[in-house]
Amino acid sequence: MRRYSGAGARQQQQTEAVADRVHRYRRVLMVLLSPVLLISFVLLLMPRAPASASGGVLLAVGGRRWGPRAVEDGLNKYAVIFDAGSSGSRVHVYCFDENLDLVPIGKEIELFKQATAGLRALGTQRSEEILQAVRELLHDSSFKSQPNWVTVLDGSQEGAFQWVTINYLLGKLGKPYSNTVGVVDLGGGSVQMAYAISEKDAAKAPLVADGEDSYVKELLLKGTTYYLYVHSYLHYGLLAARGEILKAGEGSDYSDCMLEGHLGKYNYGGNTFEASGSPSGASYSKCRALAVRALKVDEPACTHMKCTFGGVWNGGGGDGQKNLFVASFFFDRAAEAGFVDPKAAVAKVKPSDFEETARRVCKLNLKDAHATYPDVSEENIPYLCIDLVYQYTLLVDGFGVDPYQDITLVKKVPYGDSYVEAAWPLGSAIEIASSS
- Positions marked catalytic: 158
User: Hey, is 121 helix, strand or coil?
Assistant: helix
- Pairwise CA distance, residues 72 & 317, whole Å: 39
CA atoms within 13 A on the CB side of 163: 35
Which parts of 213-365 fold into alpha helices (H)? 238-248, 284-295, 319-322, 329-336, 351-362
408 - beta bridge partners?
325, 348
CA 216 centroid distance within chain? 19
CB atoms within 10 A of CB 97: 14
- Pairwise CA distance, residues 126 & 121, whole Å: 9
Contact 23, 15 (CB under 8 A): no
Which parts of 111-174 fold into alpha helices (H)? 124-140, 155-169
Residues whose CB falls within 8 Å of the CB of residue 138, separated by 6 or more in sequence, listed in order: 57, 59, 66, 67, 145, 149, 150
User: Hey, is 249 helix, strand or coil?
Assistant: coil
Contact 152, 64 (CB under 8 A): yes
User: Hey, is 159 helix, strand or coil?
Assistant: helix
DSSP state of 255: B
